[in-house]
Amino acid sequence: MNGAVLLVDDEPGVTQSLTRLLHRRGYRTHSAHDGVAALRLMQQHDFDVVITDFNMPYMNGVEFLQKVGHKYPRIERVLMSGLSEFSMLRDAVNSARVNTFITKPWDDEDLVRVVTQSLRSAAGREDAQAFRDILDNAREGVVVIDRSGVVTDINEKLCFWLGYEAHELIGVASSTMRSDQQPREAYQALYADVLDRGCWEGELHLRRKDGGSLKTETLIKPFRDGDGCIERIVFYVFPSKFQ
């Protein structure tokens, strides 16, 4: 997984060593010798991960990461420092919302694992935000359930049609929205189709909060993870009639 990493340390030997290590693993890097220079670089380039030392001129690593967290909240923030400073830094780490702490001297493989995991976390947040934007701007109602059938997200449009607030449905079983207008067997056949064919499309009745039923034309599509297992199932709902 390639990504852009900003290295901040007032010791040139440290940034040079980290640059060589990360370049060998396919990562792009920039380096700065203090927090002020690093913030200037961040205005000119996009970064996925920032790794900074604690002891630096002008501002220490925690103060720098506090500024990064405020201006660039999606960037993963990694603080690096010596073992002797760990107890002093513990509370500071929380105040700066640091994602990961690395001790000096570092282990190369551990550091690469931290960078790799940080990039995955950053990508996950971007994917989540992109999906959130899709939900909010969709013309249809959208509800997302996990592999166990629990609602993990729902957009405002579908909440309005069903008469719920989002917090009343998120975290509960999707069967809460199951209408008595359709037998249980119909839902079982529906999910079997989703698993076998990779999608389902047809008429689906959803239960409203007031006990009524919303007749819809619905498209259901599963999304799988890298291992091929279903990660989430998305319902795209087009209402046809309130009953």
Which position has the higher pLDDT, 197 or 25? Answer: 25
Q: Which of 120-124, 178-182, 190-194, 220-224 has the lowest mean pLDDT?
A: 120-124
Give ∠ CA 79-80-85 in degrees, rounded to 5: 105
Residues 179 and 122 in one domain: no
In terms of C-beta density within 10 A (0-12 exposed, 13-18 middle, 19 or more buried), how is residue 12 classed?
exposed
Which position has the higher pLDDT, 89 or 132? Answer: 132
Cα torsion at 26, 28, 30, 31 (round to 10°)? -20
The segment with the largest mean pLDDT, out of 113-127, 129-143, 190-204, is 190-204
Q: Out of 107, 133, 159, pick the residue that ends a domain.
A: 133
Query: Helix/strand/coil (H, E, C) string of the chain?
Result: CCCEEEEECCCHHHHHHHHHHHHHCCCEEEEECCHHHHHHHHHHCCCCEEEEECCCCCCCHHHHHHHHHHHCCCCEEEEEEEHHHHHHHHHHHHHCCCCEEEEECCCHHHHHHHHHHHHHHHHHHHHHHHHHHHHHHCCCEEEEEECCCEEEEECHHHHHHHCCCHHHHCCCEHHHHECCCCCHHHHHHHHHHHHHHCCEEEEEEEECCCCCEEEEEEEEEEEECCCCCEEEEEEEEEEEEEC
- pLDDT above 60 (res 166): yes
| Per-residue model confidence (pLDDT) at position 45 | 93
**Which CATH number characterizes residue 100's domain?**
3.40.50.2300
Number of domains in the chain: 2
Residues 125 and 145 in one domain: no
**Which CATH number characterizes residue 159's domain?**
3.30.450.20
| Per-residue model confidence (pLDDT) at position 228 | 77
Q: Out of 133, 154, 182, pick the residue that ends a domain.
A: 133
Q: What percent of the chain has pLDDT over 90?
A: 38
Residues 128 and 10 in one domain: yes
Residues 175 and 108 in one domain: no
| Per-residue model confidence (pLDDT) at position 86 | 46
Residue 106 in contact with residue 202, Cβ under 8 Å? no
Which position has the higher pLDDT, 127 or 164? Answer: 164
Residues 96 and 65 in one domain: yes
Average pLDDT, the chain: 84
Residues 180 and 93 in one domain: no
Q: Out of 98, 133, 168, pick the residue that ends a domain.
A: 133
* Confidence at 188, pLDDT banded by 50, 70, 90: confident
- pLDDT above 50 (res 78): yes
| Per-residue model confidence (pLDDT) at position 20 | 95
Residues 183 and 104 in one domain: no
Domain that holds residue 157: 138-242
Residues 41 and 129 in one domain: yes
- pLDDT above 80 (res 176): yes
- pLDDT above 60 (res 237): yes
Residues 127 and 11 in one domain: yes
Residues 193 and 232 in one domain: yes
Which position has the higher pLDDT, 5 or 238? Answer: 5
| Per-residue model confidence (pLDDT) at position 133 | 64
Residues 127 and 25 in one domain: yes
| Per-residue model confidence (pLDDT) at position 51 | 94
Residues 127 and 165 in one domain: no
